[in-house]
Structure formats: structure tokens, C-alpha cells
């Protein structure tokens, strides 16, 4: 890779980083503003049943201790300045530092998303190529019909269907959790068995997009003049497909990788909730319902940063593999 290309990629990353700063500021400010307008009372959520019998003075002291008696702008500014130094505050609902809450759960969410993505991309590519080779064939109609059906199916419905089929009816896979109930420690084998269903459901929810994009891209590439010329020179169909059509047909998938990050995060939250997977989903739900400002802001910032990084990665890959695209134009 030449030095000018590295420089162009670095400049693109720098521009995106400068753009990300105001975006994250607006997102975190919006989180505090929306949470402040929420009908949920963070003090009652923190105190639980004890808040029912507490007098107003006790509740006021608790509000002062939690810092929720201040305007949301002051809470946002305090959280932001502390976060810049690495202190994301204390989670009132988890009774832990926010960094610890995120760190304990992020690894499991990352594992779930990585396995699902690693399964969806190659499976969607293979199905898309098979459908594009013979447009209008029985295989093409079957693959596209399946893709459109899965695209319309809600993720939580797929998750419940998977639990009913593989756990309740067949009894071959666990219905949820990270390990077996009687287990005292986490083992790789138990995690792998419990990961199959949630990762499989999340992969199936992402599969239609890759299948349809690859089918369209490879189908268009097979109809282009360079591919027709390769066929006219006597190249085999395998060589035409792998050497010409597949490379140009997969370029749109690179952009899709970045654009699917928000949907992947949303799908992961639903899947984690259904399968009781110990990722950030439970923390997100509890932070929202308890109006846990520090934790909610940290999780939202993390999700926003993941979307921005996904879009940047897609642009970098597209610029690397498509010579017609210049990083200076992005």
C-alpha cells in the first residue's frame, strides 16, 4: 500500500473524527434532555419499595445525593467534563461505576454481534451469488422469496420461534442465559452452546440484506460488457464469476456493512432481552426506565460511536477496493 493512500485514509479518518465530536455532544445532550422530560422518577426507581413510605424530606435529600435536583444542563455538563477525564459516573440502578457496568457487559454483546455478523456475511454472499447466476430460475425465486420473508419478520418473533422449536420441541439447545443454571463457573463449552440460538437469530435477521444486495450487485456485473467480453474469450463460467463479476458485485456490500450497524445494535438489544443474554441490553432497558443519566448517556454514546466507526470502516473499504472512488471525495 503506497504512502499517499495511507495519507488519504488518515485524512478521511481525521475529518470523520472532527465530525464525530459535535455529533456525540448533541447526542449526549439529547439523552439528558429526553431523560429529564421522562415521567419516570429516578429517586423512586433508586429507592424501590422504600420510597412508598418515605417522607418528602427524605426524598429531597436522596435527590440531592443523586444530583437529580439540578437542571439537566448542569447534570450533562458535569457528566461530560468528568467523562473526558475517564470518569463516567456511578450508575444509580446498578449501584456500580458506569465503566464497570459497561465493561462487564460489552464483551458479551461484542461476542454476540461478531459471531452473528461473521455468519450472516458469508451466508448472504453465497445465497446472493447462487441466485444471481440464473435470474428467474427456481433457485433465484426461492432465495429472494426467503429473503423478503425474513426481512419482514420481527427479530423478537424469530427469537421466540427459535426457542419454541430448538429448546421446547426438540430440546437440543438451551433457551437462554450464558451458562447452565447449575454451573458455578463460566466455561467456553457452555457459552458456545448458549450462543448458538441468539447469534443464529441475529444472523438470520441480517441475512436478507446481504443476500439481496449481493444478488443485485452480481446480477448487474454479469450483464456488463467486461464480463461479456470475458465469456467471449472462452473463459469458464467459474472464472468469469469469481474473477470479474464477484469482485465488482460485492462492492455495494462494503457500504452495507457500515449501514447495518444501527440495525445490528437494535436487533442485538431485542435478541439479548429474549434470550436473557448478559450484554448491554438489560443495562440499557434498566437505565432508561430508571432514568439513570450517567449509564444511559454512556450506553448511547457507545452506540453512536459504533455507528460512526462502522460508516468510516465501510468508506475505507470501499475506497480500497474500488479504484473509481477517491478518498478526497468522501
pLDDT tens-digit map of 281-311 = 778 877 777 777 788 888 888 888 888 887 7
Q: Categorize the per-residue pLDDT at 173 as very low, low, confident or very high, splitting at 50, 70 and 90.
A: confident
pLDDT average, residue stretch 259-282:
81
Q: How many CB atoms are located within 10 Å of the residue 42 CB? A: 22
C-beta contacts of 242-248 below 8 A and 24+ residues apart:
245/132, 245/218, 245/221, 246/129, 246/218, 246/221, 247/321, 248/217, 248/221, 248/224
On the 0-12 / 13-18 / 19+ scale of CB atoms within 10 A, 99 is middle
Please write the tens of the pLDDT for every residue from 175-217.
888 777 666 677 778 888 889 999 999 999 988 888 888 888 8
pLDDT score recorded for residue 293: 78
pLDDT average, residue stretch 70-86:
83
Percent of the chain scoring above 70 in pLDDT: 78
Q: How many CB atoms are located within 10 Å of the residue 216 CB? A: 15
Find the DSSP H helices in the chain. Answer: 3-36, 42-47, 56-66, 72-84, 98-133, 138-152, 155-162, 188-222, 225-232, 237-240, 246-249, 251-259, 261-275, 280-289, 293-321
pLDDT score recorded for residue 161: 93
Comparison of pLDDT for 262 and 15, the residue scoring more: 15
Domains, the chain, with CATH or none: 97-289 (1.10.3720.10)
pLDDT average, residue stretch 148-177:
89
Residue 97: strand, helix, or coil: strand
d(CA 254, CA 264): 15
- DSSP state letters, 137-165: SHHHHHHHHHHHHHHHS-HHHHHHHHIII
- DSSP summary character for residue 242: I
> What's this model's pTM, rounded to 2 decimal places?
0.77
pLDDT score recorded for residue 59: 66
Cα–chain-centroid distance for residue 156? 15
Which of these, 70, 65, 74, lies nearest to 43 by C-alpha position? Answer: 65
Q: And the C-alpha cell for 62?
A: 436522596
Least confident interval from 29-33, 39-43, 82-86, 157-161: 39-43
pLDDT average, residue stretch 32-40:
75
Percent of the chain scoring above 90 in pLDDT: 10
Q: Categorize the per-residue pLDDT at 36 as very low, low, confident or very high, splitting at 50, 70 and 90.
A: confident
pLDDT score recorded for residue 284: 81
Amino acid at each position: 500500500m503506497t504512502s499517499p493512500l495511507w495519507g488519504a485514509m488518515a485524512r478521511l479518518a481525521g475529518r470523520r473524527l472532527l465530525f464525530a465530536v459535535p455529533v456525540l455532544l448533541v447526542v449526549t445532550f439529547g439523552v439528558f434532555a429526553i431523560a429529564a422530560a421522562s415521567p419516570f422518577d429516578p429517586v423512586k426507581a433508586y429507592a424501590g419499595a422504600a420510597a412508598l413510605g418515605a417522607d418528602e424530606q427524605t426524598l429531597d435529600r436522596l435527590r440531592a445525593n443523586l444530583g437529580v435536583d439540578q437542571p439537566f444542563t448542569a447534570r450533562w455538563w458535569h457528566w461530560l467534563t468528568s467523562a473526558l477525564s475517564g470518569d463516567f459516573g456511578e450508575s444509580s440502578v446498578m449501584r456500580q461505576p458506569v465503566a464497570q457496568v459497561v465493561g462487564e457487559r460489552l464483551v458479551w454483546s461484542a461476542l454476540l454481534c461478531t459471531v452473528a455478523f461473521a455468519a450472516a456475511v458469508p451466508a448472504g454472499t453465497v445465497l446472493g451469488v447462487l441466485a444471481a447466476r440464473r435470474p428467474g430460475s427456481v433457485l433465484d425465486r426461492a432465495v429472494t422469496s426467503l429473503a423478503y420473508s425474513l426481512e419482514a419478520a420481527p427479530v423478537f418473533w424469530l427469537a421466540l420461534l427459535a426457542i419454541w422449536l430448538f429448546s421446547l420441541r426438540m430440546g437440543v439447545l438451551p433457551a437462554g442465559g450464558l451458562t447452565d443454571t447449575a454451573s458455578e463457573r463460566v466455561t467456553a463449552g457452555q457459552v458456545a452452546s448458549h450462543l448458538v440460538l441468539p447469534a443464529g437469530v441475529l444472523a438470520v435477521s441480517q441475512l436478507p440484506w446481504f443476500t439481496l444486495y449481493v444478488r443485485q450487485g452480481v446480477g448487474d456485473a454479469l450483464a456488463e460488457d467486461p464480463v461479456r467480453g470475458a465469456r467471449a474469450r472462452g473463459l469458464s463460467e467459474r472464472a468469469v464469476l469469481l474473477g470479474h463479476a464477484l469482485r465488482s458485485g460485492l462492492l455495494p456490500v462494503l457500504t452495507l456493512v457500515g449501514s447495518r450497524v444501527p440495525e445490528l445494535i437494535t436487533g442485538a438489544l431485542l435478541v439479548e432481552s429474549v434470550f436473557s443474554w448478559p450484554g448491554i441490553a438489560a443495562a440499557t432497558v434498566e437505565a432508561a426506565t430508571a432514568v439513570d443519566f450517567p449509564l444511559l448517556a454512556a450506553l448511547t454514546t457507545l452506540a453512536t460511536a459504533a455507528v460512526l466507526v462502522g460508516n468510516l470502516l465501510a468508506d475505507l473499504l470501499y475506497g480500497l477496493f474500488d479504484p473509481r472512488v477517491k478518498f478526497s471525495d468522501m
